[in-house]
Structure 1
Amino acid sequence: MTIDQVKGALYGVAIGDALGVPVEFNQRAYLDQNPVVDFIGYKSHNQPPGTFSDDASLTFCLAESLCYGFDLIDMADRFVRWQSAGYWAAYGEVFDIGMTTYAAISRLKRGVQPQLAGDFDEDANGNGSLMRIMPLVFYTKDLPLGIRYEIVKDVSSITHGHIRSVISCFYYLELALHLLNGKSKEEAYKITATTVKEVLDQQKIIERELKIFDPLLETDISLRTRDKISSSGYVIDSLMASVWCFMTTNNYQEATLKSVNLGHDTDTTGAITGGLAGLYYGLHDIPEKWRRELARTKDIDELGLRLFNMRQ
């Protein structure tokens, strides 16, 4: 694990998020004619260029909590502070929050235990836990496979408790782990399928849920054509779109722009893709202009250093 990888992951999430914020909800056909190629401002959320949203803010809340050790209550408290007071928001104000995350934070405020606060219903499988989960890989990287799964399950369940969201987060972090350990994209993809299937077999996950992940576990998703990739706010769409964008590109800029220009939930697809690409290619591969123009760069730099030096 290097500081270039840690900062690359944090900046990667935030820049992918910021690239997508102005065009969130835009259709793919519109972006085909008007593609995002750089930071732009205002539009969908009326925010200045370089503004990240809930995706990066909650990622930073999780990262900062991990700097002090693993504590679900502390993580939950930081999520509440973000929603209530703009903690880790780009400019101190929350302008975007998913319904499932909002409901979970409302439960946290009422004193519900963090691992029980997330919605466990099948129709509550938005991408709100996947979008913020990346920093956890730096904590779990040296832990046994089964323990990694249990930790991911608890952290996802702060906002999203259904098994589909949990598996999505687990798959994403297993892929990130193998990239962190120096595997090529192709090697990491193959190893991830093996380790994830091993854990899901141990957990006796019902077959119906397992089949949903077949495009990642049983096939090569990079062979899919763009018209077969969805980019909605559904966690499965977000996971598959992000892995597809990462696997079919060759650098951070190409990966994130490809993801944002899929349309629909642009900020989150950008954030999830950007986390993988930033981790894999490193901070040095992210365009300097984007790093310079992103909100709160000094704070992100300092957080990255603390995360790199965290105690487990």
Structure 2
Amino acid sequence: MALCLATSLIARRDFVAYDQLVRYKWWYQYGYMSSTGQCFDIGSATKQSLARFAKNQKDFANKNNIPIQYMDFLSNRDYLRKFNVYCSEAGAAGNGALMRLAPAPLFFYRNPEKAVEYAGISGQITHGDVKAYDACRFYAVLIVGTLQHKSKEKLLDKHSTMIIDRDALKAVNLSDDTDTTAAIYGQLAGAYYGFNELPRKWVEHVYAKRFIKCLSKWIVYEGENWSHNQIDNDNDDDQIEDMNSVRQTSENLRPRRDTVATCAYHIEAANRINYDDAIGYSPKMPQSSRRASTDISNNNNEVCVASTSVHASHSPPGKSVRRTSHHHIFDASSSKSTEHA
């Protein structure tokens, strides 16, 4: 889900809660951004919220005469403002909101106030309890402070640069919900120590590590652009306060690597979907020619190569199939999977 949040921030170039929920729904239904191609270990609070979100989409589509198959691509600002993105039951305070948090403060850390505000909202849309909301905001403060090189003497006292290895193992070995504990620890430790301090023996076994590293750099890049735009438009309060605003396409995106270029193509394709496309009957959904790219295959030690050009359909896949590639990085519109050469 952290990857879903990251791709939403990159694709929209802003915080758009509706788009985040769409991508979480894709993860739940189709395995979008999953290392296995399937959703696994979803929490009860998240599952309930995504079911509520899907129902809200249907109700909203019926009320506004929008074909349901276009609701995942809704981009009109007025409609996004009207849509209720708070889908959690009252008192739902699971750990899922905190586990996926890191992309939000990473994107907005140059504006601490917004970083904390959006971190809270990012959790609140699926976990409505005030404890979950406050926990996300508090943890965002720690991450932002770390990224801005603020002094955290009480937190870091007597810690060496090798502590990430020892403490991460200690966190995992606490038993109970070990993946949650390690994920929450890893966000703050990663922000403080940086990528170069990660144990090499761990990094080597991370699935799609180049893709994840690419997203990490890209989210910082887009966050910097967002920060500059906010400075240029600091008198536009409506734009700043609207959490569902959609950024316009940047003209200065210059991808340098094949993986980045693949991502860039999908961002450009996603931006072709405007309001008219979303509510019309002859949509122009994004289509993509899949490019060969390495280390994003679900099968270890294989290189995923696209043998044919696959075009996106007009709606997400109707079956929950095991995705063999994440070439469709910013949409779940492909009804086919790539083949391995």
Smaller-chain TM-score range?
0.5 to 0.7
CA 131–248 in structure 1, closer or farther in 2 if over 3 Å, else same: farther
1:111 to partner: Cα distance: 2.1
One-letter amino acid of the structure 2 residue matched with residue 119 of structure 1: E
2:45: which partner in 1? 100
2:203: which partner in 1? 291
1:144 to partner: Cα distance: 5.5
1:177: which partner in 2? 144
2:10: which partner in 1? 67
Measure, in 2, the Cα distance between the counterparts of 1:140 and 1:154: 13
What number of residue pairs does the alignment pair up? 195
CA 109–144 in structure 1, closer or farther in 2 if over 3 Å, else same: same
Larger relative helix fraction: 1
Where 2:85 maps in the other structure, the secondary structure is helix
2:174: which partner in 1? 262
Measure, in 1, the Cα distance between the counterparts of 2:211 and 2:115: 28
1:127: which partner in 2? 95
Measure, in 2, the Cα distance between the counterparts of 1:149 and 1:307: 17
One-letter amino acid of the structure 2 residue matched with residue 130 of structure 1: L
Where 1:293 maps in the other structure, the secondary structure is coil
Tell me, yes or no, if the aligned pair for 2:116 and 2:138 is still in contact at 8 Å.
no
> Which moves more between the two structures, 64-73 or 280-289?
64-73
Question: Which of 212, 216, 225 is matched with 1:300 structurally?
Answer: 212
Tell me, yes or no, if the aligned pair for 1:153 and 1:166 is still in contact at 8 Å.
yes
2:104: which partner in 1? 136
Residue deviations 1:59-96, cap 9 Å, x none?
11111111132211111111011101101111211221
1:217: which partner in 2? none
1:153 to partner: Cα distance: 2.7
Measure, in 1, the Cα distance between the counterparts of 2:167 and 2:140: 18
Tell me, yes or no, if the aligned pair for 1:67 and 1:307 is still in contact at 8 Å.
yes
Question: Which of 282, 299, 312 is matched with 2:194 structurally?
Answer: 282
> Which moves more between the two structures, 302-311 or 171-180?
302-311
Residue deviations 1:7-55, cap 9 Å, x none?
xxxxxxxxxxxxxxxxxxxxxxxxxxxxxxxxxxxxxxxxxxxxxxxxx
Measure, in 2, the Cα distance between the counterparts of 1:293 and 1:111: 39
Residues 1:85 and 2:30 are matched in the alignment: yes
Where 1:161 maps in the other structure, the secondary structure is coil
One-letter amino acid of the structure 1 residue matched with residue 4 of structure 2: C
Measure, in 2, the Cα distance between the counterparts of 1:309 and 1:65: 14
Give % identity. 33
One-letter amino acid of the structure 1 residue matched with residue 122 of structure 2: V
Where 1:263 maps in the other structure, the secondary structure is coil
1:186: which partner in 2? 153
CA 135–90 in structure 1, closer or farther in 2 if over 3 Å, else same: same
One-letter amino acid of the structure 2 residue matched with residue 98 of structure 1: G
Residue deviations 1:159-203, cap 9 Å, x none?
11211101000000101111111124326x5xxxxxxxxxxxxxx
Q: Give runs of ≥4 in structure 1 deviating > 6 Å.
A: none
> Which moves more between the two structures, 166-175 or 300-309?
300-309
Question: Which of 142, 162, 183 is matched with 1:271 structurally?
Answer: 183
Tell me, yes or no, if the aligned pair for 1:141 and 1:177 is still in contact at 8 Å.
yes
Question: Which of 165, 170, 173 is matched with 2:132 structurally?
Answer: 165
CA 89–249 in structure 1, closer or farther in 2 if over 3 Å, else same: farther
Tell me, yes or no, if the aligned pair for 2:18 and 2:85 is still in contact at 8 Å.
no
Instruction: Give TM-score, length-normalised by structure 1.
Output: 0.58
Where 1:115 maps in the other structure, the secondary structure is coil
Question: Which of 93, 97, 118 is matched with 1:151 structurally?
Answer: 118
Where 2:39 maps in the other structure, the secondary structure is coil
1:258 to partner: Cα distance: 1.2
Measure, in 1, the Cα distance between the counterparts of 2:32 and 2:174: 30
CA 129–114 in structure 1, closer or farther in 2 if over 3 Å, else same: farther
Where 2:176 maps in the other structure, the secondary structure is coil
